[in-house]
A and B are shown apart, each in its own frame.
Chain A
Amino acid sequence: MKLTRLALALGVAGLFASTADVPSAQAKYDAFTVPSLVYRTGAYAPNGIPVANGFLDYFNMLNERDGGIEGIKVNVLECETAYNTKQAVECYENTKNEGQSGALAINPRSTGATYALIPKTTEDKIPLLTLGYGRTSAANGKVFPYIFNPPGTYWSQATVFIKYIAQQEGGMENLKGKKIALVYHNSAYGKEPIKTLETLAAKHGFELMLLPVDHPGQEQKATWLQVRRGKPDWLLMWGWGVMNQVAIKEAAAIRFPMDKFIGVWWSGSENDVAPSGPAAKGYLAGTMHAPGSNFGALEEIRKHLYAKGKGAGEESRIGEVLYNRGLLEAVLTAEAIRNAIKIHGTTDIRGEHVRDGFEAIKLDDAAFKRLDLEGFMPPIEITCENHEGNGKIAVQQWDPDTGKWTVVSDWIEPMRDLVNELVSEDSAAFAAENNITPRQCN
């Protein structure tokens, strides 16, 4: 019977998957397990692929060049989620106990998956690195001991955008009477900055116009009709995936001035602007790190991986915005593992030790030099109570003629007072709702 054989195959396969979860206390691990939840398929694949490649390449380069971290190779365990929370949960459960070390850090790369995994990883004592996305109030390490969202949250970024707009308009007082529109992915992710922007609108007297776009965002005609009618002075966008390209195309179609259109750092990659061709000239986007491939670490990746045909993607795409983002995830994860080994004096580390490693991350200019990433990003410092790491945020601009992003602003300091106030408010609510006693940090 075909059916019985099928059922048998399924059963055997399932058994196979679940038997590998006995950690052993041997002298040295064969490898560190670092799962990577990727989406190389589905509606968000164009953005998911470069992130996944950057992450994978960096660890593979460490394996090739240094033999891993402290002589132990890093096993990057990719698991396909198709940007779907249910599949991400399956991936998490599948990978969390793999290998001798178990998962040392999880990168979910989706706000939906982050929310689903926050309670689970906290329970399982595995750090969750959500680089510039996820739950903003997780910046409060006292309430969220295992969640990290460096180098900045959406709320920080929203304040930076308003600061940038104020700079262009010649001061905060000139914001009065201006109209700023937010085009956002109609989900928990896209709605993140609204509260901050509303607070700022009330404080500085500008008018906020909210324009939701439903998943996946291929159809936005109605939204842009509203933009045309409302005539906002500035446009902000919180988009992801195909929504970005469509929005930039539509903005070009209604001749909205591109240099007054700022995307969140998830709406500012080559994939998003390229389909609009020359019309996207001048489009702005937030960024947490420098664009481009002129960094030593990327050279190393070329030398140790791509020259030998071991690269994860195409060589020409090294240095793309989202590739560098994936690389940064890997750099922080690797740094946390290194710190964990240093702090605990052993290579037999588990997720809870790597959490301490994350809380010891202090990357100043000298550290970036050591990592071959001079000038890659401004310093960040993660501590027990501050999981956001006080990163600074810049605005970059697209030039279709050279096909390159250039940073056009300084590295801007977010309005920390305002953001911290919102963070402590929201995390206190979360703690109360879930009976969490904030831990002590000293």
Chain B
Amino acid sequence: MLYRETGQFKRNYAADQQLFPIFQDKILLGVILTVALAVIPFVINDYWSKAILLPFMVYSFIALGLNILVGYCGQISLGTGGFMAVGAYSSYKLCTAFPEMNLVFVILLSGGCTAAVGVLFGLPSLRIKGFYLAVATLAAQFFLIWMFNKVPWFYNYEMSQITAPPREMFGFLVSGPQASPTAQYLFVLGFLIVFTWIALNLVRGRIGRSWMSIRDMDIAAELLGIKPLKTKLSAFAVSSFYIGIGGALIFHIWLGTVEATEAFDILQSFFVLFAIIIGGLGSVLGAYLGAAFMALMPVGLKVVLVDGAGMAVDTAKHIEIMLVGSLIIFFLIKEPHGLARMWQITKEKLRLWPFPY
């Protein structure tokens, strides 16, 4: 009843090709966008921005990127942390070398740098598959972090902890300590909306289909005329582009200062990989749901256990670690295809509700 498609006819090709063809989906999206654009900016404060919304949005962005590579193209990567670091450090270098450059271009260009590095480390994927590729990308993780810590050029011969200089957009500071939470939130939200839209279109078009064919059976795909070289490397490029932008956003907007060894260590790679596995491989929505689960669950549990129940902080932390771990197992047993699949099942159920058969 609630989710009934009956009577929604498509009368032309444009209607058939739209991103959200179902009326109810449009309403839901409209509500989400209205809240995100017209409500949150007015009520957001430092805590909501720095502790909840920015982490969620930035990790969604990065998970989206990794999902393109792992979920859509089937190439396992454990180099996410390293690629995030490439984004952060190249944006730092660009930002300090060209102080007049607009932050949007800095971040886009650093995404471009990361894409180039991603392609470089993606080359082995033409010969190595599956777990072996995971090991090869792990090498990228360790090499890149080592390099950013070792070579002083990357941190301008100062401290290895880099600090984001203040930058403006339309007269509003978006990075640096004086930036208002609203400006920072809207800045990241802008990136997120635009690049989610691009990702949605990419994955349903020719490129996305060629990624999926490589993922499902590379030999068959090759016989169909899909070039593995171009396809795999394009997945690495696009994925790293997203991840690099995410790393630059972490550095400029969320934390304001990072150190490669700590902010982008191997645990970050696992964190994002877990996020897309829990959220749903090969699903744009899954990236969001997974990032929400991984980034917000610990904060939520902490608030409930410490502020709510008055538990000692270390006990709460231990419980949180155990609980998050068991919830991951629970969700994977309950629905191996992730939260996105759960949402899909919910929609199917709603289609029949209240008259299930």
Chain A residues in contact with chain B, CB under 8 A? 1, 3, 9-10, 13-14, 16-18, 21, 38, 40-41, 78-80, 82, 84-86, 89-90, 93-94, 96-97, 111-112, 115-116, 119-120, 122-123, 186-188, 191, 214-215, 429, 433-435
Contact = CB atoms under 8 A, between A and B. Distances in A.
A41 B317 contact: yes
B246 interface: no
Contact of A18 (B47, B258, B297): B47
Contacts of B317: 40-41, 80, 82
B314 A93 contact: no
A21 B47 CA distance: 10
B50 A90 contact: yes
B296 interface: yes
A116 B262 contact: no
Interface in B153-203: 158-161, 163, 165-166, 176-178
Contact of A93 (B47, B261, B296, B300): B47
B313 A93 contact: no
B313 A38 contact: yes
Contacts of B46: 93, 96
Contacts of B299: 14, 90
Given A85-B262, A86-B55, A186-B261, A112 B161 contact: yes
Contact of B52 (A14, A112, A120): A14
Interface in B255-306: 255-259, 261-263, 265, 296-297, 299-300, 302-304, 306
Contacts of A96: 46
Contacts of A18: 45, 47-48
Contact of B308 (A16, A40, A187, A429): A16
B25 interface: no
A41 B314 contact: yes
B307 A16 contact: yes
A434 B160 CA distance: 17
A21 B261 CA distance: 34
B259 A187 contact: yes
B229 interface: no
B27 interface: no
B313 A90 contact: no
A94 B51 CA distance: 8
A21, A96, A119 interface centre (most CB from chain B within 10 Å): A119
Contacts of A90: 50-51, 299
Contact of A79 (B158, B161, B313, B318): B313
B226 interface: no
Contacts of B47: 17-18, 21, 93-94, 97
A186 B147 CA distance: 12
B255 A116 contact: yes
B314 A434 contact: no
A86 B263 contact: yes
Interface string B298-335: 01101110111000111011100100000000000000
A188 B50 contact: no
Given A3-B342, A188-B159, A93 B51 contact: yes
B219 to A, nearest CB: 39
A86 to B, nearest CB: 7
Nearest to B318: A41
A191 B152 CA distance: 12
Contacts of A112: 161, 259, 262
Contacts of B257: 85, 115-116, 119
B346 interface: yes
Given A122-B177, A123-B178, A191-B160, A80 B50 contact: no
A230 to B, nearest CB: 19
Contacts of A116: 255-257
B100 to A, nearest CB: 15
Nearest to A111: B161
A17 B307 contact: yes
Contacts of A3: 339, 342
Given A86-B55, A93-B50, A429-B158, 18 more contacts: A9-B304, A13-B307, A14-B48, A16-B307, A16-B308, A17-B303, A18-B45, A18-B48, A41-B314, A41-B321, A80-B314, A80-B317, A90-B51, A115-B257, A187-B149, A188-B159, A191-B159, A434-B176
Contacts of A89: 50-51, 255
A78 B302 CA distance: 12
Contacts of B296: 10
15 contacts: A1-B346, A3-B342, A82-B317, A85-B259, A85-B262, A86-B55, A93-B51, A97-B47, A112-B161, A115-B161, A119-B163, A123-B177, A186-B261, A187-B160, A188-B160
Contacts of A191: 159-160
Contact of A434 (B158, B159, B165, B262): B165
A187 B262 contact: yes
A85 B261 CA distance: 11
